[in-house]
Structure 1
Amino acid sequence: MPQITVDHSKSISFDREGFAHDLHTALVEIAAAKPEACKTQFRASEVTAFGYEDPADHGHAVVHVMIGLLVGRTEETKAKLTETVLELLRKHVEDDGHAVLHASAEVRDLDASYRKFER
């Protein structure tokens, strides 16, 4: 915990390493996460479809960040995290002047069934 997944259009120029570092720092500061517990997976999508637009035009790009935390954070803390994520995306996703970037973030509580192991 936290479990972080970043889905994004492959067509964007995205400093993923810098984003992950800054996001992990924010999670420690805002949500009292332990640095060694922060884990981020990036999933680049080959195709991003938007409305009726031809995906080959690459006129739109998407980044969605999902953060799963153990239960106990306030709604204010979650809102602060999502706003911070959006600020970090502005910093780490290059504006190519062509594609419209649709960026979003959400923080959710991990289900009570959440378990993990390490080896």
Structure 2
Amino acid sequence: MPQITVDYSHPGKDALDRHVFARALHEAAVGIAAAKPEACKTLFRYSDCGVFGYEDPDAGGHAIVHVTIGLLAGRSDETKARLTEAVVELIRRHVAPGDGVTLHASAEVRELDRSYRKCEQ
């Protein structure tokens, strides 16, 4: 494990190298949360519409990137906090939204429910 999901919005699409970013996320999960490299899985979900406050979404002045990391239970709160801090820093380093665009970067680590199951075929 982990199950990693990266949600990101326009105009962040062209400002994110997904393969490089996923590799950095996996390295952080391995180094901080003792995940196994072969267990790291990242899914990117792009939205061409992100809305910030009352601003016109078509103005394109805001890029949103949110990373959710699902881990099996057992990591300390300190470990989860270190991982989220590292991920926010990775977003800042890997996403360059361009002039006049404000980047809204966030991350959370959650524990997967005990009902979680997976299958590989």
Same fold? TM cut 0.5:
yes
How high is the TM-score relative to the length of structure 2?
0.95
Deviation at 1:74, TM superposition (A): 0.2
Deviation at 1:95, TM superposition (A): 4.0
Aligned length, in residue pairs = 119
Match of 1:51 among 50, 53, 69: 53
Name structure 1 gaps, 5 residues minimum.
none
Q: Runs of 4 or more off by more than 6 Å in structure 1?
A: none
Matched, 1:6 2:18: no
Deviation at 1:10, TM superposition (A): 3.0
| C-alpha contact (below 8 Å) 2:11/2:62 kept by paired residues | no
CA distance in structure 2 between the aligned counterparts of 1:39 and 1:85, rounded to whole angstroms: 15
Name structure 2 gaps, 5 residues minimum.
none
Which whole-Å deviations, capped at 9, do the CAs of 1:55-82 have from their partners, x for residues lacking one?
Answer: 1100111100000000000000000000
Matched, 1:15 2:17: yes
Deviation at 1:21, TM superposition (A): 0.4
Question: For residue 67 of structure 2, what is the aligned residue in structure 1?
Answer: 65
Alignment of 1:1-119 (within 5 A): 1-12=1-12, 13-119=15-121
How high is the TM-score relative to the length of structure 1?
0.96
| C-alpha contact (below 8 Å) 2:11/2:97 kept by paired residues | no
- State the identity as a percent: 64
